[in-house]
Structure 1
Amino acid sequence: MTIQQKIQSLKEELNQHNYNYYVLDNASISDFDFDIKLKELEKLEQENPEFFDANSPTQRVGGSITKNFETITHKNRMYSLDNSYSKEDLLDWEKRIQKILGTTETEYTCELKFDGASINLTYENGQFQKAVTRGDGFQGDEVTNNVKTIRSIPLTIKGDFVSDFEMRGEIILPLDGFAKMNIERLENNEEAYRNPRNTASGSLKLQDSTEVAKRPLDCLLYQVVTSERKYKTHFEGLENARKVGFKVPKTIKLAKSIDEVFEFVNHWDKKRHDLPYETDGVVIKVNNLQQQEELGYTSKYPRWAIAYKFKAEQVSTILNEITYQVGRTGAITPVANLEPVQLAGTTVKRASLHNADQIEKLNIRENDTVFVEKGGEIIPKIIGVDFTKRPENSTPTIYATHCPECGTELVRTDGDAKHYCPNEFGCAPQITGRIQHFISRKAMDIEGLGGETVDLLRKEGLIQNYADLYDLKVEQVIPLERMAEKSAQNMINGIEKSKEIPFEKVLFALGIRFVGETVAKKLAKHFKSIDNLMTATFEELINVDEIGDRIAQSIVDFSNDLNNIQLINKLKEVGVQLAVSVESLENQTDKLQGQIFVVSGVFHQMSRNELKKAIEDNGGKVSSSISKKTNFIVAGDNMGPSKLIKAETLGIPIITEQDFIDKIN
């Protein structure tokens, strides 16, 4: 046997032992014997560096240092899930998806919702390439070196599976491992970790992968993402992923009906506390992959999946004081300052009271004993008052009349739940908040500049608005607290690089009220430049698809404000992208302007997403369901029979993929 063959044989043997132990929970060799073989492989690799393999079992022990985690754009966006809290919500969801599909024949997969850190693993030709955190769904941090230390994640795939793919999953910290870590920390007089989820998430961002390797992290996989059409169902893909070495939980179950989904939910609502890891709900997915494609996505969620959240944990504590926070738009949020209490693994000291109506509705007062739960087990909220414990000298809550920061009298418009501070350009939290929003990842994504630094820059008088960022010099920034020369240079470089950010993101960054990410994209696509948008009339704005009165009026108000006009002019002067780039416009036409398309079936020349993009690039609109307003149906193979009947009943033209390509060419 040659040296290369010996190395390969040891790698395969150790990979199999890893799989047996960490995935199957069935050790096939003692720890001592495993370590002996691992050291033998390590020695051979050191003596023969020409056979180095980044995915060798020897690379799992850590040793690499990552100073800065590179931001990577996801090839396929990692959407979040829509939540449901009752069986009525699930029934409503089923009605919606069956209406779009035009059939009642839907099969589901039921999976436990793990409480950890979402991860995206990329494989090419059966070899592990990189691991990226979910981040904001569009881009995340590369944590490959740290993830390699998790032994349940295969670094090499063998067997009959797709070749290039992504595996989505959750990095978790099992409860017994979490308990052992805390015992060790307490014995060393260190503060105990609060909960497994945050500890797992924090582990991925440790700079030294050797430290990560010491932590008993695990990875549970729940989705195969690939363009290959090897499997027809989500369940089939996961079953085959398990066969080639991925740790796919055996709790996943097929449900032929929504009643079987309810059975799964009821079972695990009672049994979840017996699991070796934390779970806070159930994820229900449409099993058929073609139906998933038919259903598609909203701007935030896949339509083909929904999370059912188990009833949140609830505790009672004393509300010591009600204070008020000012947001970047001037919105006032009342905050309950509580006697600290343990809730779902964290210490809760504050909870949102939402608005004046909510305080009045629940009759909440200072010094009340209140019931607190985590909405979706994430954000603490007060759900009621224990009136039997209300002090005799209790007095009703009088909502704030003036801004707690600048003293300006608050306003509240008809139909709005919140009070607002109108002092937009003179109220410190609004100034800081708008700049923080401007630099955020989904907006201008300015590296090297955080929220605390923004507040410091404002207090030092260096900036008063987001346009002032582009006047900053390194020598102005270096004297700031905790700011070294390299950090200052990184900040200035990040600000300069933000001038390359495309118009749709700049438009979102401006912080126009009610203009979120999705609305900003629609407006950028329609008006093409900030000048066109700011000179548009109210009537022109509401004629844009999905732009209502409230958004239109907000844009008109923004465009008529002298301060905003001056800000935009300054951004133009420094070179920020305030128009759609020439490159983006090259492939866009108005050939399909005003036409609504429904895309259905399996296609061969273009992927479904490419087809939808082509419709939108040529001025058309994609709809998920057939109606009288539909102009064309682009039909591929296996178009749903009920959709076909509905199209024929309404007299809507059905065109092929080739017909569509001819139409736009």
Structure 2
Amino acid sequence: MAAKPKKAPVDVEKLTKAQAKVELMRLALEIEEHNNRYYQDDAPKISDAAYDALRQRSNAVEARFPELVTKESPSQKVGAAPSGRFAKVQHAIPMLSLGNAFTDQDVVDFVERVQRFLKLGADEIPTIVAEPKIDGLSLSLRYENGELVRGATRGDGTTGEDVTANVRTLSDIPHKLKGRNVPAVCEVRGEVYMLKSDFLALNKRQAEAEDTIFANPRNSAAGSLRQKDPSITASRPLKFFAYAWGEMSAMPAPTQFEMIEWIDKAGFVTNPLTTRCKNVEAILKFYREIETKRATLGYDIDGVVYKVDRLDWQQRLGFVSRNPRWAIAHKFAAEQATTVLNDIEIQVGRTGALTPVAKLAPVTVGGVVVQNATLHNEDYIKAIGNDGQPIRDGVDIRIGDTVVVQRAGDVIPQIVSVVLDKRPRNAKPYEFPHRCPACGSHAVREADPKTGREDSVRRCTNTLACPAQAKERLKHFVARNAFDIDGLGDKQIEEFFTDGLVMSPVDIFTLEKRDARATKKLADREGYGATSVRNLFAAIEARRKIALARFIFALGIRHVGEGNAKLLARHYGAVENFRAAMIAAGEGPLAEAYLDLNSIEGIGAVVANAIVEFFAEPHSVKAVDDLLDEIEVQPAEKAKADSPIAGKTVVFTGSLEKFTRDEAKATAERLGAKAAGSVSKKTDYVVAGPGAGSKLAEAQKLGVQVLTEDEWLALVNGL
């Protein structure tokens, strides 16, 4: 009997939302299975073309129903998740990311920022080391007494995967470092990649074996390195460029360029195109040359990296957020494409912000099908920039327009211009809604109390009862950098909120108790079962203990991101202190608690007022208290005990001559101190330069110890 022909899938444009939901779940499971077989098991069972078809259909369904996209969606992932077969490695020094430059002016601004921070003269240009930005997989190699002891992937920057057995198979990675004066601890970092010629040869062998054809050299290199069987990694033509370092017990050279030379002599392969540039003109000339050579290089690159050459200046410059001040990546121009704007959709975020999203006729940009692009805010649609000046030559964006789209940094789709001569005659200026599309409440643009200027973002005023805001706050609460509850992503939050199961954060932690009493169990819901529910409850239970910084970030207070949450956690130490202080700060701008909050370096009036407003709302305090009844918030880690200023609060004032204000604050924070903006009785030291005024007077009034710049340097240097 002949087999029945396989039923053709329903056309994406004809899918209902319910059908799309089921289809996305089916596709996600199938794609995940193939990812695991390909990246982890190296045993794919379908052709590359068939795999691409699955991804393309999933992307098309997501584009039509963007509200169904979650962090678990295939479009939100690259390759496969860590298999769990590799041990985790905590990086002694985090493997942080680089900030990006996209224009020549961005590069000029970078150099000028370095000059200002270091207090250099206008004609004193710092030497910059420029090198191609390799498109591969970041790797850290730790040597002790010259012997390779561990290889680890970058992971999330703090924790990576132990791939030591695999990296030992790479010919570019020495098992023992060359030379006599090798530091006792030496951590070399770089990029694993695959030559284009090797990639093509590998694909040829795959084709001859009727096996899967790899998509590109980068994915091939990443998948090859993370194989559970080192012999598979050994069979792949992987290369390694060394260009950086992490923990070093001693520094063999005083500059970036000389360190690269030392790394080369120690036995590594370094990029021969790396060069020193004496000025901005030389930097940009190098960029143009590399951009021209890009197609002829034997490996893939996606830009050029610039680093300040002097290591002592790198130390002084330090870091801001997760990026070094002393380095930046100059990305190559994004690929552009032309398409039609079919509609503008308004999405409501957790802080009530109304964000316009362009719904585009599908177009391929940089190898990716784009159907949505951010429009930022109503001023951007009207072609008004943040400074109030016209952008895009004053051409607004209208539904029906033909627009030019690019992927900023080759990632985020955005509209960069409008093809005005193709504008339909009946196209009308877009009228931004003044009411929330989710709850119908008024949406307003708040005014800055100091300048009177309107905020560029329009927000829903119904903070407490707007369902869109409530849902988005819950999604933020369970996000990766907040509570990070496995198995409780955007999709589950949408379902549980709609069905009334999880309406506030505490509902997550009472879900298991309520489910035990419920007539209809979670396990009876479509798409669930006893095992998945048991795993979900276990994941929730595992998050009943959380660090204070994560807890503060998870609350979703406006203007309080990860960085500010860490500042608050470090300042208040324990959740009880934080809660009490925030409520006390609501007593008024002259209250000691409010003044103390404002004294935290990095927490200005805007952030302070947002926090105070949050805790001034009884509903918010109750939500926090209910949550604290169910979880344990762990105190912030104490400052380094081996520093003479660890745990101290320092204020810098006056015209500092030995170092810049930013440099001084960076040094204090690096040594475990808090750099405050104002003097109080909690201040330990005031470092006063020439011209110190009211802060010096306040310190003398309160009996706070005052140091000169030389005394400060002697203190921090242990003299």
Aligned-partner SS, 1:654: helix
* Pairwise CA distance, 1:513: 0.5
Aligned-partner SS, 2:633: coil
Residue type at the aligned position of 2:188: M
CA distance in 2 between counterparts of 1:527 and 1:92 reads 36
2:671 counterpart of 1:616: no
2:537 counterpart of 1:492: yes
Query: Counterpart in 2 of 1:118?
Result: 138
Query: Counterpart in 2 of 1:277?
Result: 299
CA distance in 2 between counterparts of 1:82 and 1:626 reads 32
Alignment of 1:223-302 (within 5 A): 223-225=244-246, 226-302=248-324
Aligned-partner SS, 2:473: helix
Of 587-596 and 251-260, the range deviating more from structure 2: 587-596
2:101 counterpart of 1:81: no
Q: Which runs of 5+ in 1 are unaligned?
A: 1-64, 602-607, 633-650
Is this contact kept in 1: 2:582–2:612, CA < 8 A? no
2:409 counterpart of 1:376: yes
* Pairwise CA distance, 1:197: 4.4
CA distance in 1 between counterparts of 2:536 and 2:106 reads 46
Query: Counterpart in 1 of 2:129?
Result: 109
Query: Counterpart in 1 of 2:337?
Result: 315
Aligned-partner SS, 1:262: helix
Residue type at the aligned position of 1:532: A
1:550 aligns with one of 602, 606, 624: 606
CA distance in 2 between counterparts of 1:128 and 1:67 reads 23
Is this contact kept in 1: 2:142–2:148, CA < 8 A? yes
* Pairwise CA distance, 1:441: 3.3
Residue type at the aligned position of 1:335: V
Is this contact kept in 1: 2:360–2:372, CA < 8 A? yes
Residue type at the aligned position of 2:376: H
Residue type at the aligned position of 1:108: I
CA distance in 2 between counterparts of 1:576 and 1:114 reads 43
Query: Counterpart in 2 of 1:450?
Result: 489
Residue type at the aligned position of 1:467: V
Q: 1:384/1:432 Cα in 2 relative to 1: closer, same or farther (>3 Å)?
A: same
CA distance in 1 between counterparts of 2:689 and 2:212 reads 58
Of 480-489 and 512-521, the range deviating more from structure 2: 480-489
TM-score scaled by length of structure 2: 0.70
Q: 1:411/1:196 Cα in 2 relative to 1: closer, same or farther (>3 Å)?
A: farther
Aligned-partner SS, 1:655: helix
Q: Deviations over 1:104-124 (max 9, x none)?
A: 263221011223333333333
CA distance in 2 between counterparts of 1:546 and 1:611 reads 12
* Pairwise CA distance, 1:182: 6.3
Aligned-partner SS, 1:367: coil
Query: Counterpart in 1 of 2:509?
Result: 470
Q: 1:456/1:97 Cα in 2 relative to 1: closer, same or farther (>3 Å)?
A: same
* Pairwise CA distance, 1:481: 5.3
Alignment of 1:44-443 (within 5 A): 66-67=83-84, 72-103=89-120, 104=124, 106-144=126-164, 150-160=170-180, 161-179=182-200, 196-197=217-218, 200-201=221-222, 216-225=237-246, 226-361=248-383, 362-414=395-447, 415-443=454-482
Is this contact kept in 2: 1:100–1:625, CA < 8 A? no
* Pairwise CA distance, 1:589: 7.8
Aligned-partner SS, 2:191: strand
Q: 1:571/1:148 Cα in 2 relative to 1: closer, same or farther (>3 Å)?
A: farther
2:528 counterpart of 1:506: no
CA distance in 2 between counterparts of 1:206 and 1:428 reads 45
Is this contact kept in 1: 2:646–2:673, CA < 8 A? no
Q: 1:99/1:399 Cα in 2 relative to 1: closer, same or farther (>3 Å)?
A: closer
Aligned-partner SS, 1:398: coil
Residue type at the aligned position of 1:315: A
* Pairwise CA distance, 1:370: 0.8
CA distance in 1 between counterparts of 2:687 and 2:333 reads 32
CA distance in 1 between counterparts of 2:203 and 2:378 reads 42
Is this contact kept in 1: 2:650–2:685, CA < 8 A? no
Query: Counterpart in 2 of 1:526?
Result: 571
Q: Deviations over 1:338-369 (max 9, x none)?
A: 22222223222221111111112142122321
Q: How many residues align?
A: 575
Q: Which runs of 5+ in 2 are unaligned?
A: 1-81, 384-394, 448-453, 660-665, 677-681, 696-706
Query: Counterpart in 2 of 1:577?
Result: 633
Query: Counterpart in 1 of 2:651?
Result: 594
Of 481-490 and 303-312, the range deviating more from structure 2: 481-490
Superposed CA RMSD in Å reads 4.1
Q: Deviations over 1:410-452 (max 9, x none)?
A: 3332322122234445445433432332233332344454333
CA distance in 2 between counterparts of 1:490 and 1:501 reads 19
Query: Counterpart in 2 of 1:605?
Result: none
Aligned-partner SS, 1:347: strand
Q: 1:202/1:321 Cα in 2 relative to 1: closer, same or farther (>3 Å)?
A: farther
Is this contact kept in 2: 1:499–1:575, CA < 8 A? yes
Is this contact kept in 2: 1:132–1:144, CA < 8 A? yes
* Pairwise CA distance, 1:561: 1.9
Residue type at the aligned position of 2:260: L
Is this contact kept in 1: 2:184–2:249, CA < 8 A? no
Residue type at the aligned position of 1:522: L
Aligned-partner SS, 1:399: coil
Residue type at the aligned position of 2:671: K
Aligned-partner SS, 1:501: strand
Is this contact kept in 2: 1:294–1:600, CA < 8 A? no
Of 230-239 and 122-131, the range deviating more from structure 2: 122-131
Is this contact kept in 1: 2:145–2:184, CA < 8 A? yes
Residue type at the aligned position of 2:547: P
Q: Deviations over 1:556-592 (max 9, x none)?
A: 2211223211111012212331754789999998754
Residue type at the aligned position of 1:100: F
Is this contact kept in 2: 1:79–1:300, CA < 8 A? yes
Aligned-partner SS, 1:535: helix
Q: Deviations over 1:27-85 (max 9, x none)?
A: xxxxxxxxxxxxxxxxxxxxxxxxxxxxxxxxxxxxxx944555544321222222223
Is this contact kept in 1: 2:668–2:675, CA < 8 A? no
CA distance in 1 between counterparts of 2:509 and 2:376 reads 36
TM-score scaled by length of structure 1: 0.75
CA distance in 2 between counterparts of 1:586 and 1:101 reads 27
* Pairwise CA distance, 1:170: 2.8
CA distance in 1 between counterparts of 2:641 and 2:675 reads 9
Is this contact kept in 1: 2:189–2:243, CA < 8 A? yes
Aligned-partner SS, 2:651: coil
2:562 counterpart of 1:517: yes
CA distance in 1 between counterparts of 2:322 and 2:684 reads 18
CA distance in 1 between counterparts of 2:526 and 2:686 reads 52
CA distance in 2 between counterparts of 1:74 and 1:196 reads 26
* Pairwise CA distance, 1:180: 5.7
* Pairwise CA distance, 1:656: 6.9
Is this contact kept in 1: 2:652–2:688, CA < 8 A? no
Residue type at the aligned position of 2:107: L
Query: Counterpart in 2 of 1:653?
Result: 709
